[in-house]
Structure 1
Amino acid sequence: MTKYLISFPSGEMQFRPEEFQTVVDESHAVIQEAKDAGVYVFGGGIDESVPPVRVAADGTVTEGTYPQTRQIEGGYTVLELPSREEAERWAAKIAAACRCPQELRQFGYDPMS
């Protein structure tokens, strides 16, 4: 089975403030459905209040991040699924719950993971 990353940037969620609890409930329901189906690996949101750092091989810590990744934020879900079609189906469920399109990426196979 292949692991898939389903994600979205925070600013893409489109809903009225009074819908917030509904969005939370629907999002949690999809994640629970994935857990019940045995395909859930990991999920969560980036804590945007904590700035990123880069850590070098010698342990040196530098504030900030790579320029091409400075906008990483939002929500992430990793599912392990038998096909890309199944991943697209789950991404559509998450998109409906979160009120925004989801980006779908496939992890490469690593026998040590």
Structure 2
Amino acid sequence: MAQYLIYFNQQWVGDHEEAWFHSRVEPSTAVVRAMQDEGVLVFAGGLVEELEEAASADATSGEVVVTDGPFAETKEWLGGLTIIDVPDDETARAWAGRVAEGCGWPQEVRRFKAGSLQAVALGG
């Protein structure tokens, strides 16, 4: 089994009426429930949209510096993520498609490197 990250940038969501967002709750949570039922879900969650609540930590100077806000000026930022543990790329892509359909906006899927710290920390 390998672990995969399914994620979206907040800007991919698009502008919609509040009612549209409410209409996405059931289909998107249904996908998460299906992942739980099939035993592939490691974690899923959306992030707070307000960038002023973000903080960055940088130790490249040899000293840890923590500052308010995102690390770099950017036009896109992470909106939410799901981590799954599935046997192959095809299965991961199928789940990403289901998440995209449930949410109503695009998703990207990427495999964690084998033996990477992230995969080890998540039990992979």
**TM-score band w.r.t. shorter chain:** 0.7 to 0.9
Once the two structures are aligned, what percentage of the paired residues are identical? 34
| CA root-mean-square deviation | 2.3
Equivalent residue in structure 1 for 2:54, among 42, 51, 54: 51
What is the TM-score of this pair, normalised by structure 2? 0.77
Contact 2:5 2:111 in 1 (8 A): yes
What is the TM-score of this pair, normalised by structure 1? 0.83
Give the equivalent residue in structure 1 for 2:35.
34
Output aligned runs, 1:1-113, within 5 Å: 1-14=1-14, 15-49=16-50, 50-56=53-59, 58-67=63-72, 71-110=76-115, 113=120
- Structure 2: where are the runs of 5+ without partners? none
Contact 1:7 1:75 in 2 (8 A): yes
* Residues 1:19 and 1:64: Cα distance change in structure 2 (over 3 Å): closer
After superposition, what is the alpha-carbon deviation per residue over 1:29-86, rounded to whole angstroms, capped at 9, x for unaligned? Answer: 1001101100001111122321222143644323344437773321110101101000
Q: Number of residues paired by the alignment?
A: 113
